[in-house]
Chains A and B, each alone.
Chain A
Amino acid sequence: MNYLSKLMQFALLTALLNMPAAIAATAAKETTAKAAPAASAAPASQAQTAAATPQPISFNRLMRVAPRRHLPPMEDGIRDPANAETQTLQAPLEVFSALPQTPSGLGNGVNWPGALYDGKIKPRWDRNDPTAEPMVMDMSVVRVPKSTMPDVVFPHKQHTEWLDCSNCHPDIFVPQQGANQISMAAIILGQKCGVCHGKVAFPVSECRRCHSQPKQVDAKGGAKP
């Protein structure tokens, strides 16, 4: 019986620790009639600081990063709720709930390539022609970082389903071995991969999504040169 009470205490504590996430999830699902964020003008900067409290990007894998909340336009902190048309804008959750999600929920929290493969979304490749197909290149680039982090696998396939060659080459990435120095610092500052990742595509707090290939180990047990 004592064991049972200990078990229940543990369960209660776990629930307590998950409280913030539960609150966040609930508030996101609610469309409270009351929620009409502070209006315009001078408090804009103040509202902005309140709306975008900086959260340090943590490369500590033990630290959980809070998932996104996907608030509807009326409550999202950058749109003006006093604007009549804001309420006619579509809420992200209406669409996201039908799309496959990523495990971490970072960024949009949507698995965009997955949504594409499942046929849930059919984004046009050509502005006018709904039948045009992308020219997909199935070539992966493996970059071996100097540190102990696993190798980075860059898949052209998932990128060329959305982007054109000229979007990245040669302005952002020179298509030549050894010609691109990429560091995490550069990525965080919005260079190289950071031109999209961390702004529109999934943010780089999820190390494993890129650093996905364990370092090759040769027969003798040492790392491959």
Chain B
Amino acid sequence: MQSLIRRTLMSRMLLVWSLVLAATFIYTRPAMAEYGDVVINNYSDAAGMRPAVFSHWFHRVRFACKVCHADLGFKFKAGGNEINMLKIIDGKYCGACHNGNIAWSVSNCNLCHSGKPGTPTQVHESTMQELVAPAKSTVTK
């Protein structure tokens, strides 16, 4: 009787263990950037630069939302501010801080322009992006 129980237990454990192994290798998840990272690709592709990636969390730790969105005039819209290098060098938008004084200067191109070429303008991992959308749609914000 005991050996029967033991055999049943063994076979059940084997089944469970094989399921465990299967789960390990079959279950994969795609890479996910940080929530709130904004890819800005209005003009970058055309200029041969990688799109700029702005990370909200990094700035949120240092500045209240109001500083950029009320004082510096950033609209709540990815790509909606029409930022270009001329404006930045003029001290507008990003250039208000990224001038070598408050933050790194404009000569560090690829600290900002770090996105994969061709990535469309988006707020990464936003609710809009994560909606169940038809496969052929490219959700841009």
Contact = CB atoms under 8 A, between A and B. Distances in A.
Interface of A: 5, 9, 12-13, 16, 19-20, 23-24, 27, 37, 39-42, 44-45, 47-57, 66, 68-71, 73, 75-80, 83-86, 88-90, 92, 95-96, 107-108, 110, 112, 121, 123-128, 134, 161-164, 166-167, 188-190, 194-200, 203-204
A9 B9 CA distance: 10
Contact of A78 (B33, B63, B97): B33
Contacts of A121: 60-62
Contacts of A198: 126-128
A44 B60 contact: no
A79 B58 contact: no
A163 B65 CA distance: 5
A54 B124 CA distance: 12
Interface residues of B, number: 65
A167 B65 contact: yes
Contacts of B127: 57, 188, 190, 194, 197-199, 203-204
A52 B135 CA distance: 11
B114 A86 contact: yes
A interface: dominant SS: loop
B67 A88 contact: no
A90 B31 contact: no
Contacts of B76: 167, 195-196
Given A23-B29, A76-B33, A188-B131, 19 more contacts: A44-B117, A48-B119, A51-B30, A51-B31, A54-B129, A71-B33, A73-B114, A77-B32, A79-B33, A85-B110, A95-B58, A107-B35, A108-B57, A125-B64, A125-B66, A127-B72, A161-B64, A163-B65, A195-B76
